Structure 1
Protein backbone atom coordinates (compact mmCIF):
# COMPACT_ATOMS: atom_id res chain seq x y z
CA UNK A 1 0.00 0.00 0.00
CA UNK A 2 1.16 3.53 -0.82
CA UNK A 3 1.92 5.82 2.10
CA UNK A 4 1.13 9.53 1.92
CA UNK A 5 1.96 12.43 4.22
CA UNK A 6 -0.77 13.72 6.54
CA UNK A 7 -0.94 17.41 7.51
CA UNK A 8 -3.10 19.44 9.87
CA UNK A 9 -4.98 22.63 8.95
CA UNK A 10 -1.94 24.71 9.94
CA UNK A 11 0.18 22.96 7.32
CA UNK A 12 2.27 20.93 9.79
CA UNK A 13 3.03 17.28 9.05
CA UNK A 14 1.41 15.03 11.67
CA UNK A 15 2.25 11.61 10.27
CA UNK A 16 1.55 9.28 7.38
CA UNK A 17 -1.44 7.31 6.15
CA UNK A 18 -1.73 4.20 4.01
CA UNK A 19 -3.93 4.46 0.94
CA UNK A 20 -6.28 1.56 0.23
CA UNK A 21 -6.15 -0.82 -2.73
CA UNK A 22 -8.35 1.71 -4.54
CA UNK A 23 -5.13 3.58 -5.38
CA UNK A 24 -3.35 0.58 -6.90
CA UNK A 25 -5.09 0.30 -10.27
CA UNK A 26 -3.05 -0.20 -13.42
CA UNK A 27 -3.25 2.62 -15.96
CA UNK A 28 -5.09 2.02 -19.24
CA UNK A 29 -4.69 5.18 -21.33
CA UNK A 30 -7.54 4.24 -23.69
CA UNK A 31 -10.02 4.07 -20.80
CA UNK A 32 -8.86 7.41 -19.39
CA UNK A 33 -9.01 9.08 -22.80
CA UNK A 34 -12.52 7.78 -23.41
CA UNK A 35 -13.73 9.18 -20.07
CA UNK A 36 -12.01 12.56 -20.51
CA UNK A 37 -13.14 13.11 -24.12
CA UNK A 38 -16.74 12.17 -23.25
CA UNK A 39 -16.84 14.48 -20.22
CA UNK A 40 -15.38 17.39 -22.18
CA UNK A 41 -17.87 16.81 -25.01
CA UNK A 42 -20.81 16.66 -22.59
CA UNK A 43 -19.72 19.94 -20.97
CA UNK A 44 -19.75 21.86 -24.27
CA UNK A 45 -22.06 24.87 -24.39
CA UNK A 46 -22.82 25.77 -28.00
CA UNK A 47 -23.32 29.48 -28.70
CA UNK A 48 -22.28 30.16 -32.31
CA UNK A 49 -25.15 29.58 -34.73
CA UNK A 50 -25.59 30.37 -38.41
CA UNK A 51 -28.64 30.15 -40.66
CA UNK A 52 -28.76 27.97 -43.74
CA UNK A 53 -30.25 29.20 -47.02
CA UNK A 54 -33.52 27.56 -45.97
CA UNK A 55 -33.72 29.63 -42.78
CA UNK A 56 -32.76 33.09 -44.07
CA UNK A 57 -35.78 35.28 -44.83
CA UNK A 58 -36.58 36.40 -48.37
CA UNK A 59 -35.26 35.08 -51.64
CA UNK A 60 -38.36 33.22 -52.73
CA UNK A 61 -38.39 34.87 -56.16
CA UNK A 62 -35.82 34.20 -58.84
CA UNK A 63 -33.76 37.44 -59.02
CA UNK A 64 -33.74 37.58 -62.83
CA UNK A 65 -34.54 35.46 -65.85
CA UNK A 66 -32.41 32.39 -66.49
CA UNK A 67 -31.37 33.61 -69.94
CA UNK A 68 -30.99 36.83 -71.85
CA UNK A 69 -29.56 39.19 -69.20
CA UNK A 70 -25.89 38.34 -69.70
CA UNK A 71 -25.53 37.75 -65.98
CA UNK A 72 -24.77 34.53 -64.14
CA UNK A 73 -27.80 32.37 -63.47
CA UNK A 74 -29.23 32.46 -59.93
CA UNK A 75 -32.31 30.99 -58.36
CA UNK A 76 -32.35 32.87 -55.04
CA UNK A 77 -30.64 35.81 -53.38
CA UNK A 78 -30.31 33.68 -50.23
CA UNK A 79 -27.78 31.32 -51.78
CA UNK A 80 -24.48 31.11 -49.83
CA UNK A 81 -22.89 32.86 -52.83
CA UNK A 82 -24.76 36.08 -52.07
CA UNK A 83 -24.08 38.70 -49.42
CA UNK A 84 -26.78 38.28 -46.78
CA UNK A 85 -27.42 34.75 -47.94
CA UNK A 86 -27.37 31.57 -45.90
CA UNK A 87 -24.18 29.99 -44.61
CA UNK A 88 -22.96 26.64 -45.90
CA UNK A 89 -21.41 24.36 -43.26
CA UNK A 90 -21.40 27.06 -40.58
CA UNK A 91 -21.49 26.46 -36.80
CA UNK A 92 -24.84 25.31 -35.40
CA UNK A 93 -26.02 25.36 -31.79
CA UNK A 94 -28.31 22.39 -32.40
CA UNK A 95 -25.44 20.04 -33.16
CA UNK A 96 -25.22 17.16 -30.68
CA UNK A 97 -21.77 16.45 -29.25
CA UNK A 98 -22.96 14.27 -26.36
CA UNK A 99 -21.12 11.02 -25.75
CA UNK A 100 -22.26 8.19 -23.55
CA UNK A 101 -19.83 6.35 -21.30
CA UNK A 102 -20.70 3.45 -19.02
CA UNK A 103 -20.55 4.10 -15.28
CA UNK A 104 -18.06 1.26 -14.98
CA UNK A 105 -15.68 2.99 -17.42
CA UNK A 106 -16.04 6.31 -15.57
CA UNK A 107 -15.20 4.66 -12.26
CA UNK A 108 -12.30 2.76 -13.75
CA UNK A 109 -10.82 5.90 -15.33
CA UNK A 110 -11.10 7.83 -12.05
CA UNK A 111 -9.49 5.01 -10.11
CA UNK A 112 -6.63 4.77 -12.60
CA UNK A 113 -5.73 8.48 -12.59
CA UNK A 114 -5.89 8.53 -8.78
CA UNK A 115 -3.56 5.54 -8.71
CA UNK A 116 -1.14 7.33 -11.02
CA UNK A 117 -1.10 10.35 -8.69
CA UNK A 118 -0.42 8.05 -5.74
CA UNK A 119 2.45 6.31 -7.54
CA UNK A 120 3.97 9.70 -8.38
CA UNK A 121 3.68 10.85 -4.71
CA UNK A 122 1.37 13.70 -5.73
CA UNK A 123 -1.35 12.97 -3.14
CA UNK A 124 -1.45 14.62 0.28
CA UNK A 125 -3.92 14.14 3.13
CA UNK A 126 -5.16 16.82 5.52
CA UNK A 127 -6.80 15.87 8.84
CA UNK A 128 -9.79 18.14 8.32
CA UNK A 129 -10.47 21.46 6.68
CA UNK A 130 -13.21 23.91 7.55
CA UNK A 131 -13.72 27.66 7.98
CA UNK A 132 -16.29 29.72 9.82
CA UNK A 133 -15.80 32.61 7.40
CA UNK A 134 -14.26 32.56 3.91
CA UNK A 135 -10.73 34.00 4.14
CA UNK A 136 -8.47 33.80 1.12
CA UNK A 137 -5.46 34.73 3.26
CA UNK A 138 -5.90 31.62 5.45
CA UNK A 139 -6.12 29.38 2.39
CA UNK A 140 -3.07 31.02 0.82
CA UNK A 141 -1.03 30.54 4.01
CA UNK A 142 -1.90 26.84 4.12
CA UNK A 143 -0.90 26.33 0.48
CA UNK A 144 2.45 28.04 1.08
CA UNK A 145 3.25 25.71 4.00
CA UNK A 146 2.49 22.54 2.02
CA UNK A 147 5.08 21.13 -0.44
CA UNK A 148 3.13 22.21 -3.51
CA UNK A 149 5.19 25.01 -5.00
CA UNK A 150 3.13 26.99 -7.48
CA UNK A 151 1.56 23.91 -9.11
CA UNK A 152 -2.17 23.59 -9.69
CA UNK A 153 -3.81 21.71 -6.84
CA UNK A 154 -7.17 20.08 -6.19
CA UNK A 155 -8.62 20.04 -2.67
CA UNK A 156 -11.11 17.20 -2.17
CA UNK A 157 -13.49 17.66 0.77
CA UNK A 158 -15.74 15.11 2.44
CA UNK A 159 -18.72 17.46 2.08
CA UNK A 160 -19.40 20.85 0.56
CA UNK A 161 -17.90 23.66 2.64
CA UNK A 162 -19.14 26.96 1.21
CA UNK A 163 -16.60 29.02 3.16
CA UNK A 164 -13.68 26.94 1.85
CA UNK A 165 -14.96 27.18 -1.74
CA UNK A 166 -15.36 30.96 -1.42
CA UNK A 167 -11.90 31.35 0.13
CA UNK A 168 -10.33 29.45 -2.78
CA UNK A 169 -12.14 31.32 -5.52
CA UNK A 170 -9.53 34.08 -5.82
CA UNK A 171 -6.57 31.68 -5.91
CA UNK A 172 -5.97 30.62 -9.50
CA UNK A 173 -3.87 27.56 -8.71
CA UNK A 174 -6.39 25.74 -6.50
CA UNK A 175 -9.72 24.10 -7.22
CA UNK A 176 -12.12 22.65 -4.65
CA UNK A 177 -14.55 19.76 -5.02
CA UNK A 178 -16.13 17.03 -2.92
CA UNK A 179 -15.39 13.31 -3.01
CA UNK A 180 -18.92 12.75 -4.32
CA UNK A 181 -18.34 15.07 -7.29
CA UNK A 182 -14.77 14.01 -8.08
CA UNK A 183 -14.16 13.10 -11.72
CA UNK A 184 -11.32 12.17 -14.06
CA UNK A 185 -10.99 15.63 -15.64
CA UNK A 186 -10.59 17.19 -12.18
CA UNK A 187 -7.62 14.94 -11.50
CA UNK A 188 -5.81 15.21 -14.84
CA UNK A 189 -6.17 19.02 -14.79
CA UNK A 190 -3.95 19.43 -11.70
CA UNK A 191 -0.58 18.25 -10.42
CA UNK A 192 -1.32 17.72 -6.72
CA UNK A 193 -4.43 16.33 -5.02
CA UNK A 194 -5.11 17.07 -1.34
CA UNK A 195 -7.69 14.80 0.29
CA UNK A 196 -9.48 15.64 3.49
CA UNK A 197 -9.15 12.48 5.59
CA UNK A 198 -12.91 11.85 5.68
CA UNK A 199 -13.08 12.37 1.91
CA UNK A 200 -11.01 9.21 1.44
CA UNK A 201 -13.65 7.23 3.36
CA UNK A 202 -16.42 8.71 1.21
CA UNK A 203 -14.48 7.79 -1.94
CA UNK A 204 -13.93 4.20 -0.79
CA UNK A 205 -17.66 3.79 -0.05
CA UNK A 206 -18.48 5.07 -3.53
CA UNK A 207 -16.22 2.50 -5.18
CA UNK A 208 -17.51 -0.28 -2.92
CA UNK A 209 -21.01 0.05 -4.40
Structure 2
Protein backbone atom coordinates (compact mmCIF):
# COMPACT_ATOMS: atom_id res chain seq x y z
CA UNK A 1 0.00 0.00 0.00
CA UNK A 2 1.18 3.51 -0.87
CA UNK A 3 -0.07 6.70 0.78
CA UNK A 4 -0.19 9.72 -1.53
CA UNK A 5 -0.48 13.34 -0.44
CA UNK A 6 -3.57 15.11 -1.78
CA UNK A 7 -3.17 18.74 -2.85
CA UNK A 8 -5.82 21.40 -3.25
CA UNK A 9 -6.23 23.91 -6.11
CA UNK A 10 -3.60 26.21 -4.59
CA UNK A 11 -1.08 23.39 -4.10
CA UNK A 12 -1.40 23.01 -0.32
CA UNK A 13 -1.47 19.57 1.30
CA UNK A 14 -4.98 18.77 2.53
CA UNK A 15 -4.87 15.03 3.21
CA UNK A 16 -3.76 11.62 1.99
CA UNK A 17 -5.10 8.94 -0.34
CA UNK A 18 -4.09 5.30 -0.38
CA UNK A 19 -3.20 3.21 -3.40
CA UNK A 20 -3.14 -0.56 -3.05
CA UNK A 21 -2.86 -2.49 -6.32
CA UNK A 22 -1.75 -6.07 -6.87
CA UNK A 23 1.27 -5.89 -9.19
CA UNK A 24 3.41 -8.44 -11.01
CA UNK A 25 6.41 -10.07 -9.39
CA UNK A 26 9.62 -8.09 -9.69
CA UNK A 27 11.30 -10.62 -11.98
CA UNK A 28 8.40 -10.63 -14.46
CA UNK A 29 7.08 -7.06 -14.13
CA UNK A 30 9.20 -5.58 -16.93
CA UNK A 31 8.29 -8.40 -19.30
CA UNK A 32 4.53 -8.20 -18.84
CA UNK A 33 4.44 -4.39 -19.06
CA UNK A 34 6.53 -4.55 -22.23
CA UNK A 35 4.16 -7.11 -23.76
CA UNK A 36 1.17 -4.92 -22.98
CA UNK A 37 2.89 -1.86 -24.48
CA UNK A 38 3.86 -3.69 -27.68
CA UNK A 39 0.30 -5.05 -27.98
CA UNK A 40 -1.26 -1.60 -27.59
CA UNK A 41 1.04 -0.01 -30.17
CA UNK A 42 0.58 -2.89 -32.62
CA UNK A 43 -3.21 -2.82 -32.30
CA UNK A 44 -3.18 0.92 -33.04
CA UNK A 45 -1.67 0.28 -36.49
CA UNK A 46 -4.11 0.52 -39.39
CA UNK A 47 -2.33 -1.99 -41.58
CA UNK A 48 -3.61 -0.37 -44.78
CA UNK A 49 -0.24 0.22 -46.49
CA UNK A 50 -0.07 -1.46 -49.87
CA UNK A 51 2.17 -1.71 -52.92
CA UNK A 52 1.54 -3.27 -56.35
CA UNK A 53 3.32 -6.31 -57.66
CA UNK A 54 4.29 -6.66 -61.32
CA UNK A 55 0.97 -8.43 -61.91
CA UNK A 56 -1.02 -5.50 -60.54
CA UNK A 57 0.74 -2.58 -62.27
CA UNK A 58 -1.16 -1.46 -65.37
CA UNK A 59 0.50 -2.01 -68.74
CA UNK A 60 3.39 -4.27 -69.54
CA UNK A 61 1.45 -6.67 -71.73
CA UNK A 62 3.69 -6.46 -74.78
CA UNK A 63 7.28 -7.68 -74.88
CA UNK A 64 9.45 -4.52 -75.17
CA UNK A 65 11.74 -5.97 -77.88
CA UNK A 66 12.49 -9.31 -79.43
CA UNK A 67 14.31 -11.95 -77.45
CA UNK A 68 17.53 -12.08 -79.49
CA UNK A 69 19.55 -9.99 -81.84
CA UNK A 70 19.27 -6.53 -80.28
CA UNK A 71 22.35 -6.71 -78.05
CA UNK A 72 20.27 -5.72 -75.08
CA UNK A 73 19.31 -7.85 -72.11
CA UNK A 74 16.22 -9.96 -72.67
CA UNK A 75 13.03 -8.42 -71.29
CA UNK A 76 9.51 -9.73 -71.19
CA UNK A 77 7.69 -6.74 -69.66
CA UNK A 78 8.32 -3.08 -68.99
CA UNK A 79 6.58 -3.52 -65.63
CA UNK A 80 9.33 -5.73 -64.24
CA UNK A 81 10.51 -4.72 -60.74
CA UNK A 82 13.88 -3.91 -62.36
CA UNK A 83 12.29 -1.19 -64.47
CA UNK A 84 11.24 2.30 -63.52
CA UNK A 85 7.47 2.25 -63.08
CA UNK A 86 7.49 -1.49 -62.52
CA UNK A 87 6.09 -3.53 -59.64
CA UNK A 88 7.56 -3.89 -56.17
CA UNK A 89 9.25 -7.05 -54.96
CA UNK A 90 8.02 -8.28 -51.55
CA UNK A 91 6.40 -4.92 -50.81
CA UNK A 92 3.95 -4.39 -47.94
CA UNK A 93 0.37 -5.54 -48.30
CA UNK A 94 -2.68 -4.83 -46.12
CA UNK A 95 -2.52 -6.96 -42.97
CA UNK A 96 -3.87 -7.18 -39.45
CA UNK A 97 -1.30 -6.34 -36.76
CA UNK A 98 -3.58 -7.23 -33.84
CA UNK A 99 -1.93 -9.08 -30.96
CA UNK A 100 -3.85 -10.94 -28.31
CA UNK A 101 -3.24 -10.87 -24.58
CA UNK A 102 -5.29 -12.39 -21.80
CA UNK A 103 -7.54 -9.99 -19.91
CA UNK A 104 -5.95 -10.89 -16.56
CA UNK A 105 -2.50 -10.19 -17.99
CA UNK A 106 -3.63 -6.85 -19.44
CA UNK A 107 -5.05 -5.72 -16.13
CA UNK A 108 -1.96 -6.93 -14.26
CA UNK A 109 0.28 -5.00 -16.65
CA UNK A 110 -1.83 -1.86 -16.21
CA UNK A 111 -1.73 -2.11 -12.41
CA UNK A 112 2.01 -2.73 -12.48
CA UNK A 113 2.65 0.25 -14.77
CA UNK A 114 0.49 2.57 -12.66
CA UNK A 115 2.01 1.48 -9.35
CA UNK A 116 5.47 1.81 -10.86
CA UNK A 117 4.90 5.52 -11.56
CA UNK A 118 3.91 6.34 -7.98
CA UNK A 119 7.01 8.52 -7.52
CA UNK A 120 5.84 10.75 -10.39
CA UNK A 121 2.22 10.79 -9.21
CA UNK A 122 0.48 13.98 -8.04
CA UNK A 123 -2.92 13.53 -6.41
CA UNK A 124 -5.19 16.61 -6.32
CA UNK A 125 -8.70 17.39 -5.22
CA UNK A 126 -11.44 17.50 -7.83
CA UNK A 127 -11.11 20.97 -9.35
CA UNK A 128 -14.00 21.06 -11.83
CA UNK A 129 -15.72 23.75 -9.75
CA UNK A 130 -12.57 25.88 -9.88
CA UNK A 131 -13.01 26.34 -13.62
CA UNK A 132 -16.52 27.74 -14.13
CA UNK A 133 -15.38 28.66 -17.63
CA UNK A 134 -12.48 27.45 -19.79
CA UNK A 135 -9.25 29.15 -18.70
CA UNK A 136 -5.93 27.66 -19.79
CA UNK A 137 -3.93 30.20 -17.80
CA UNK A 138 -5.57 29.12 -14.52
CA UNK A 139 -4.88 25.45 -15.21
CA UNK A 140 -1.23 26.14 -16.03
CA UNK A 141 -0.91 28.12 -12.80
CA UNK A 142 -2.45 25.23 -10.86
CA UNK A 143 -0.05 22.73 -12.43
CA UNK A 144 2.87 24.91 -11.39
CA UNK A 145 1.49 25.03 -7.84
CA UNK A 146 1.32 21.24 -7.81
CA UNK A 147 5.03 21.06 -8.64
CA UNK A 148 4.65 20.11 -12.29
CA UNK A 149 7.20 21.73 -14.60
CA UNK A 150 5.61 23.54 -17.58
CA UNK A 151 7.89 21.85 -20.13
CA UNK A 152 7.31 18.29 -18.88
CA UNK A 153 4.89 15.82 -20.46
CA UNK A 154 1.86 15.56 -18.19
CA UNK A 155 -0.90 12.98 -18.05
CA UNK A 156 -4.04 14.33 -16.37
CA UNK A 157 -6.50 11.65 -15.21
CA UNK A 158 -10.06 12.60 -14.28
CA UNK A 159 -12.87 10.46 -12.88
CA UNK A 160 -15.20 11.79 -15.58
CA UNK A 161 -14.67 14.13 -18.50
CA UNK A 162 -15.36 17.78 -17.73
CA UNK A 163 -15.92 20.07 -20.68
CA UNK A 164 -14.37 23.14 -19.03
CA UNK A 165 -11.28 21.20 -17.96
CA UNK A 166 -10.98 19.70 -21.44
CA UNK A 167 -11.22 23.10 -23.13
CA UNK A 168 -8.70 24.54 -20.66
CA UNK A 169 -6.24 21.69 -21.18
CA UNK A 170 -6.33 21.24 -24.95
CA UNK A 171 -4.08 24.27 -25.61
CA UNK A 172 -1.34 23.01 -23.27
CA UNK A 173 1.11 21.44 -25.69
CA UNK A 174 2.47 18.52 -23.65
CA UNK A 175 -0.59 17.74 -21.55
CA UNK A 176 -2.77 14.72 -22.30
CA UNK A 177 -6.18 14.40 -20.67
CA UNK A 178 -7.91 11.04 -20.17
CA UNK A 179 -10.59 9.62 -17.92
CA UNK A 180 -9.93 6.85 -15.40
CA UNK A 181 -11.90 4.41 -17.56
CA UNK A 182 -9.46 5.01 -20.46
CA UNK A 183 -6.32 4.23 -18.48
CA UNK A 184 -3.68 2.58 -20.67
CA UNK A 185 -0.06 1.47 -20.45
CA UNK A 186 1.31 3.72 -23.22
CA UNK A 187 0.08 6.99 -21.67
CA UNK A 188 1.29 5.94 -18.22
CA UNK A 189 4.81 5.24 -19.48
CA UNK A 190 5.06 8.19 -21.89
CA UNK A 191 4.32 10.91 -19.31
CA UNK A 192 6.96 12.62 -17.16
CA UNK A 193 4.41 13.44 -14.46
CA UNK A 194 0.96 12.01 -13.76
CA UNK A 195 -1.71 14.21 -12.18
CA UNK A 196 -4.77 12.33 -10.96
CA UNK A 197 -7.79 13.66 -9.09
CA UNK A 198 -8.78 12.00 -5.83
CA UNK A 199 -12.11 10.72 -7.27
CA UNK A 200 -10.23 9.25 -10.26
CA UNK A 201 -7.78 7.52 -7.93
CA UNK A 202 -10.69 6.04 -5.98
CA UNK A 203 -12.22 4.81 -9.22
CA UNK A 204 -8.93 3.22 -10.30
CA UNK A 205 -8.61 1.58 -6.89
CA UNK A 206 -12.17 0.31 -7.10
CA UNK A 207 -11.82 -1.13 -10.60
CA UNK A 208 -8.26 -2.48 -10.44
CA UNK A 209 -7.74 -2.91 -6.70
CA UNK A 210 -6.99 -6.23 -5.09
Q: TM-score, structure 1 length as denominator?
A: 0.89
Give the deviation of 1:104 after TM superposition.
Answer: 1.4
1:26-175 to 2 correspondence within 5 Å? 26-27=25-26, 28-46=29-47, 48-92=49-93, 94-118=94-118, 121-130=119-128, 131-149=131-149, 150-175=151-176
Q: Using a 3 Å threshold, how does the CA distance of structure 1 residues 115 and 38 change in structure 2: closer, same or farther?
A: same
Q: Using a 3 Å threshold, how does the CA distance of structure 1 residues 26 and 156 change in structure 2: closer, same or farther?
A: farther
Name the CA distance, whole Å, in 1 between partners of 2:127 and 2:38: 32
- SS of 2:6's equivalent in the other structure is strand
Instruction: Return 167-176 or 44-53, whichever deviates more.
Output: 44-53
Instruction: Return 199-208 or 42-51, whichever deviates more.
Output: 42-51
Q: TM-score, structure 2 length as denominator?
A: 0.88
Give the deviation of 1:17 after TM superposition.
Answer: 2.1
Q: Deviations over 1:8-29 (max 9, x none)?
A: 123322122222x216654411
Contact 1:38 1:100 in 2 (8 A): yes
Name the CA distance, whole Å, in 1 between partners of 2:203 and 2:143: 23
Give the deviation of 1:79 after TM superposition.
Answer: 0.6
Structure 1 unaligned blocks of 5 or more: none
Contact 1:25 1:115 in 2 (8 A): no
Aligned length: 205
Structure 2 unaligned blocks of 5 or more: none
Q: Deviations over 1:21-75 (max 9, x none)?
A: 2166544111011000110111124565322211110112222222222211111
Contact 1:31 1:109 in 2 (8 A): yes
Q: Using a 3 Å threshold, how does the CA distance of structure 1 residues 180 and 34 change in structure 2: closer, same or farther?
A: same
